[in-house]
Amino acid sequence: MDLKITKVSKENKKTIPVFDSNLGFGRFFSDHMFIMEYIDGKWTDPRIEPFHNLNLSPSTMVFHYGQGIFEGLKAYKREEELYLFRTKKNLERMNNSANRLVMPNFDVEQVLDAIKKLVYIEHDWIPDTKGYALYLRPTMIATETCLGVRSSNRYMFFVIAGPVGPYYPKGFNPVDIYISDKYVRAVRGGVGEAKAMGNYAASLLAQKEGQKYNCSQVLWLDGVERKYVEEVGAMNIFVSFKDELVTPMLSGSILPGITRDSVLKITRDWGMKVTERLLPIDELIEGINSGKVLEVFGVGTAAVISPVGKFVYKEQSYTVANGKTGALSQKLFDYITSLQIGLEKDTLGFVEKICTSDFDEEFLKLVTGNTKDGVKSNQKLQKSGVDQSIKKTECNNSSLRGLH
């Protein structure tokens, strides 16, 4: 892919916000974006350019028929090192979403390369504080201008980025959850297992209902019988019983979360008994009442781990783990957030460090004014306790050397 790069001019650079508790989530966007168009059966003109508004006709198909999908992932920084966490999985899932909505696939390796370059260019926008990150939002929309229900012949793909703090303003604290037995998020055979834009619009009314009970998120039950637990908010859910950690099996209406998969692999690696199965809501409620349920937590890229403090179901309240963060939630949160910034041994191969050796000379020259040859091996890295098992062990140069 011949990636064209246009850097923002000095005078058009935005002011980078302060990376503190006011940063919030999804409020600020960096200086550049990646963009390409699908025309005549191929992706064309891939480029990184200054962040800009889109100029689209009101007859653009995505506005009418909702043929739009997206992803959410993060890049991390620690001591001048840049890290990605299972980014390829996000891009593969996006191609699966595209298949479900009859949209074109893209080349995962090429888009991964563009994302690495975008992250590298935007390195100043990445907070260097645990729990903070650069959030990346790959998006694909149908852009043919036509009214008529069919798949579009033209598409736009873009990736925007912005610094984010912890997803919940109150931080890593238990949240209260409304169990909706009226509205559903998705049905089997529908688009629930795709990251389709419409799924999120469909979730809003139940969220509004939950707010009446002071609940910030909704627990979704299955769309047919309202009998089985599916997801919580925009997260997958785990229930820790005394003898078993359970998450609903992927049924076709559940989004196959990357964090869900990571938690499954990590807890199995820790030797825990973990089961993917149908989880009846009655079993969850009975387990809370009898004490068999030790803790419940949501898992997703934005919040990583989000403990549940209380459920509201059919006008009754059910407190979980005394309304406190459970031991397993805390352990997983600490482990994953450390892993993401290279502070844990990466035995499962989840973490990728971005290195200057990932890039060609022309790109480095453009960004840094230096060449690869000018990049010396970073002594600090060898001494810093950064996990050397992270992929690309050949990468012994600092991500950002030469940029400051």
Best CA proximity match to 80, nearest among 132, 19, 128: 128
Distance CA 47, CA 2 (A): 8
Q: What Å distances lie between residue 306 and 20, 72, 76, 132, CA to CA?
A: 20, 17, 19, 15
Q: Which residue number, 89 or 123, has a Cβ lying nearer to ligand PLP? A: 89
Spell out the residues 6+ positions from residue 316 whose beta carbon is closer than 8 angstroms to its own. Answer: none
Distance CA 84, CA 74 (A): 7
What is the rounded (10 degree) CA torsion for 15, 18, 22, 28? Answer: 30
Binding region for ligand PLP (CB under 6 A) out of 96-104, 133-141, 227-235, 288-296: 227-235
3-state secondary structure of 57: coil
Best CA proximity match to 360, nearest among 374, 371, 375, 376: 371
Residue from 197, 255, 284, 308 binding ligand PLP (CB under 6 A)? 255
Q: How far is the CB of 71 from ligand PLP (least distance, A)?
A: 7
Binding region for ligand PLP (CB under 6 A) out of 31-39, 99-107, 113-121, 251-259: 251-259
Q: Which residue number, 235 or 266, has a Cβ lying nearer to ligand PLP? A: 235
Residue from 114, 191, 258, 364 binding ligand PLP (CB under 6 A)? 258
Q: How far is the CB of 345 from ligand PLP (least distance, A)?
A: 22
Binding region for ligand PLP (CB under 6 A) out of 18-26, 229-237, 285-293, 382-390: 229-237
Q: How far is the CB of 26 from ligand PLP (least distance, A)?
A: 13
Residue from 229, 234, 308, 355 binding ligand PLP (CB under 6 A)? 234
Q: How far is the CB of 235 from ligand PLP (least distance, A)?
A: 5
20, two tokens: 């503190």
Strand locations in 86-202, DSSP E? 133-142, 155-164, 175-180
Binding region for ligand PLP (CB under 6 A) out of 12-20, 157-165, 172-180, 234-242: 234-242
Residue from 180, 259, 325, 340 binding ligand PLP (CB under 6 A)? 259
Does the footprint of ligand PLP cover residue 193 (CB under 6 A)?
A: no
List the interface residues with ligand PLP, window 53-112 (CB under 6 A): 72
Q: What is the distance in angstroms between the CA of the first residue and the CA of the last residue of the chain?
A: 29
Binding region for ligand PLP (CB under 6 A) out of 75-83, 118-126, 132-140, 258-266: 258-266
Q: Which residue number, 93 or 401, has a Cβ lying nearer to ligand PLP? A: 93
Tokens 């009101």 sit on residue = 58
Q: How far is the CB of 172 from ligand PLP (least distance, A)?
A: 16
CB 76 within 8 A of CB 131: no
Q: How far is the CB of 231 from ligand PLP (least distance, A)?
A: 5
Tokens 């992803």 sit on residue = 71
Instruction: Please give the angle made by the CA atoms of 124, 374 and 339, to the nearest 5 degrees.
Output: 45
Q: Give how many residues touch ligand PLP by CB under 6 A.
A: 12
Residue from 236, 240, 329, 398 binding ligand PLP (CB under 6 A)? 236
177, two tokens: 């959850």
Residue from 300, 307, 309, 326 binding ligand PLP (CB under 6 A)? 300
Residue from 207, 301, 329, 337 binding ligand PLP (CB under 6 A)? 301
CB 231 within 8 A of CB 220: yes
Q: Which residue number, 97 or 399, has a Cβ lying nearer to ligand PLP? A: 97
CB 305 within 8 A of CB 260: no
Please report, as ranges, the residues that interact with ligand PLP according to CB under 6 A: 72, 231, 234-236, 255, 257-260, 300-301
